[in-house]
Amino acid sequence: MSANLIPILWDATLQTLYMVAVSTILGTIGGLPLGVFLATSQRGELLSAPWVNKVLGLVVNATRSVPFIILVVAIIPFTRALVGTSIGTNAAIVPLTLAAIPFIARLVENAIREVDGGLIEAARAMGATPLQIIRKVLIPEAMPAIALGLTLAVVSLIGYSAMVGAVGGEGLGDLGIRYGYQRFMPEVMLAVVVILIVLVQLVQSLGEWFAARVDRRAPRNRGH
């Protein structure tokens, strides 16, 4: 591989990291509270609002049902209105974020629903308010599962970020298409694949480490 391509690979990697990082942050900001609400708003639950829960659930399911590449194309007018363009890294962040929010919301919902109901009842018996129960019981207890869920979301976003290269996004996907496919440079395609695999492995390892650190049930090594 030509030495001239190394800076291009580096820039494409940074663009991918930028897209994934920003969309993960925005997706978490939107998906975390949405997931908490979905997990606590069915009839008789802490924030009982069954009709709102049902409507939001339908919206989340509908958004998740749309294949990502179709979502990217379908919201081009919205993306252009929001960031002024439909190509480039900033434009790619819009569909990535919209795909991340419902995905993260469902992961958070599932994580919170796994929390032992006895903890909720104990907190209620002690006079805790619904918001206190959510903040001090549900989220801390569900944090390991939430961390693993966010890890899965980031891994998915890395894959999605490569897909936006097919429709004007930048990053490693765009590089693989322009050089590896259109110019038939298999060494570039191989380099892109290797970098993506390394990124996924790093994210997975970091996510598992963090989940273990915040797991209250995990045994801790005690010093002598």
The residue extents of the domains of the chain are 5-214
pLDDT at 221 over 50: no
pLDDT at 213 over 80: yes
For residue 124, give the amino acid letter.
R
HSE, CB side, 13 Å, CA atoms: give it for residue 188: 26
pTM: 0.88
Question: Which residues does 204 contact at the CB level (< 8 Å), separation at least 6?
Answer: 151, 155
pLDDT at position 218 is 56
d(C-alpha 106, C-alpha 41), whole Å: 14
pLDDT at 46: 85
- Class of the domain covering 5-214: mainly alpha
The answer, yes or no, to whether residue 97 has pLDDT greater than 60, is yes
- Please report the sign of the dihedral spanned by the C-alpha atoms of residue 190, residue 195, residue 199, residue 201: positive
**CA pseudo-torsion sign 91, 153, 191, 173:** negative
DSSP class of residue 70? H
Q: Tell me the pLDDT of the chain averaged across its residues.
A: 87
- In this structure, is the dihedral angle defined by the CA atoms of residues 159, 163, 169 and 171, taken in order, positive or negative? positive
